[in-house]
Amino acid sequence: MTDTDDLACIELVELVTDYLEDALEPDVRARFEQHLPSCPGCEEHLEQVRRTIQVLGALPQDERLSPQTRARLLDAFREWRAHPQPEA
Ligand SMILES: [Zn+2]
């Protein structure tokens, strides 16, 4: 629940497409995979992007994160932390 956590989330969100394209440096990829299990918000984002790529075949360039999208995602992560949803 710290700014450090938020920064990790932003980093991860920005790296999702590279991760799915297997384009990350090994050490970055390791950090990415370390963060995921501790952060359902990022895990869900990863799944959403993965599904988008499956449907479209690729992620269009203009689907990459704009500052507005990034801000919205960060808000969503904070909201999730403030109000964790019960497991279905
Ligand atoms: Zn995260």
Q: How far is the CA of 9 from the centre of ligand 1 (A)?
A: 4
Distance in Å, CA 55 to ligand 1 centroid:
24
Ligand 1 centroid distance, CA of 70 (Å): 12
Q: Which residue has the higher pLDDT, 77 or 13?
A: 13
Tell how far the Cα of 84 is from the centroid of ligand 1, in angstroms.
Answer: 14
Q: What is the pLDDT of residues 59-76, one digit of tens each?
A: 666 556 677 777 777 777
Distance 61 CA to ligand 1 centre (A): 23
DSSP calls for the chain: --HHHHHHHHHHHHHHHHHHTT-S-HHHHHHHHHHGGG-HHHHHHHHHHHHHHHHHSS--GGGSPPHHHHHHHHHHHHHHHHSPPPP-
pTM over 0.85: no
Domain-wise residue ranges, the chain: 3-82
